[in-house]
Amino acid sequence: MTANPRNVPARANLAGILVAAGEPDAAIREMDAIANAQPSGLLDLAPLIVALAANPDASLRRPQQALRLAEQLVAVAGRTAATVLDTLAIALAATGDFDAAMAMARAALDRLPVDVAERRAIQDRLALYRERRPFVLAKPQARGAPLRQDGGRGIASRSFRSYTTKYWFATTAR
């Protein structure tokens, strides 16, 4: 499966399909092609970068590649958007760099108004990083199923639907 090399939206869609289909290496090739053809195309790939770093299936995680892509995303977008910094924090934690992940998560929180729903999700991830634990996405749920709540440690957030339609953000115990 290939996309027109000049069609960044098609390549981004293909990368998303490949991530969802359990083909992270092929998805990384598409994301790299986007970064090379049009670096600003990385702005739409934050959900896929997170999926590479925090996939619920450990065999499908690619933390080093996710970190590389997240760093490229920051280079393109700068350090002004909370979503960009949060994406980098997730990738840093996935590689075991919890101190840097905490710094990025705090920086993301600094860029959000107090009343924004995403604050709670980032705060929950920051608590994981303090415990030296990476963030892991929850397993996909059936369409229309209620969000999973795991008694205090499994926090699901409807506010993060914009990250991806395949996965819900949630913290999970290892």
Q: What Å distances lie between residue 41 and 5, 7, 44, 121, 145, CA to CA?
A: 12, 10, 6, 25, 32
Q: Label residue 6 by pLDDT band (50, 70, 90).
A: confident
- What is the number of H-type helices and E-type strands within the chain? 7, 0
Q: pLDDT, tens digit, for every residue of 125-159?
A: 999 999 999 999 988 765 554 444 333 333 333 33
Query: How high is the pLDDT of residue 98?
Result: 98
Query: How high is the pLDDT of residue 81?
Result: 92
pTM greater than the 0.75 cutoff = yes
| 8-160 under CATH 1.20.1250.20, yes or no | no
Query: How high is the pLDDT of residue 139?
Result: 83
- Whether the CB-CB separation of 126 and 106 falls below 8 Å is answered with yes
Q: pLDDT, tens digit, for every residue of 51-103?
A: 999 999 999 999 999 999 999 999 999 999 999 999 999 999 999 999 999 99
Query: How high is the pLDDT of residue 173?
Result: 29
Whether residue 2 has pLDDT greater than 90 = no
Query: How high is the pLDDT of residue 161?
Result: 34
- Whether the CB-CB separation of 136 and 174 falls below 8 Å is answered with yes
In 3D, which of 136, 36, 45, 39 has the Cα closest to residue 83? 45
Query: How high is the pLDDT of residue 4?
Result: 65
Domain ranges of the chain: 8-160
